[in-house]
Amino acid sequence: MPYPAHHRGDVRRRIVDSARRLFNQRGFDGVSIGQIMAGARLTHGGFYNYFKSKSDLYVEVLGCFLTDPEWKNCWEGVHVDLTSTDAGPQVVKAYLSPQHFEDVANSCPMIALPTDVARSRPEVKAAFADVFRAMVSVLERSMEQSDRPSRVTAQAITALCVGGMVIGRALGHGDRAEALRAASQQVALELGGWAPSARGHARRRHAKARLAAKRPRGLRE
């Protein structure tokens, strides 16, 4: 009995999903083709029907929800609508969410794999750059109505999101890591113009206090 028309695509997706989880957890060099195929519930020999090498698979794994419409993140309670006019703050909040921080296996590959990419072939670097550019583009579109230098700001926000997660993961799972993640999210949202700054909050509080102090006693709240 022949396989259904979608069988080959389904098997390829299983291999990519297994590789993404394992690469995120162990790095490129820490994972064998046999382990990837076992994670996809497939035999080792079938790998070469779909990919020429582990490096070719690695290029495909570097896709994420920003570049691969088939990839679905598993961060419970997190939603990103890339067609929305406010996709920028959605991406920042999702990327620097506690759910994404905790879910190492389903992380965006820019967090777990940058050191591997730095040692890899040009096509791997190009795939990584595609993901970075995609994130910058989403953020830039969400800032088009502002008077900010959107491309420069979008690049800085992307670097802050990725770097905040990389360093936070390196710190472990304690209070310092949580504080860094939250601070990175707050500053990224402020840079994009999607959240009032803490300094602005402070100025407004001080101004309100000064006005209250000038009022006659009977008119104060």
Q: What is the CATH number of the domain that holds 196?
A: 1.10.357.10
Q: pLDDT tens digits, residue range 163-180?
A: 999 999 999 889 999 999
Tens digit of each residue's pLDDT (9 = 90 or more) over 97-151 = 999 999 999 889 899 888 888 888 898 899 999 999 999 999 999 987 666 679 9
pLDDT value for 203: 47
- The whole model's pTM is what? 0.80
1 and 103 inside one domain: no
pLDDT for position 38: 97
CA atoms in the 13 A half-sphere facing the CB of 121: 10
Helix axis angle for 7-26 and 54-61, nearest 10°, is: 90
Q: Looking at the structure, tell me whether residues 97 and 179 fall in a common domain.
A: yes
- Average confidence (pLDDT) over 57-66: 89
Contact 145, 153 (CB under 8 A): no
Position 11 scores a pLDDT of 94
More confident residue, 203 or 7: 7
CA–CA separation, 217 vs 221, rounded Å?
9
In this structure, what CATH number is given to the domain that contains residue 36?
1.10.10.60
Convert the pLDDT of each residue in 181-215 to its tens digit: 999 999 999 999 998 754 444 444 544 555 555 55
- pLDDT, position 209: 52
State the pLDDT at residue 120.
85
Give helix 150-171 / helix 175-191 axis angle, nearest 10°. 180
Range of the domain at 20: 1-61
Share above pLDDT 90 across residues of the chain, in percent, rounded to a whole number: 56
Same domain membership, residue 34 and residue 107:
no
Count of the separate structural domains present in the chain: 2
User: Do 136 and 114 share a structural domain?
Assistant: yes
Predicted pLDDT at 201:
46
39 in the same domain as 143: no
| pLDDT of 43 higher than 90 | yes
Query: What is the distance between the terminal CA atoms of the chain, rounded to a whole angstrom?
Result: 81
For the chain, the average pLDDT equals: 85
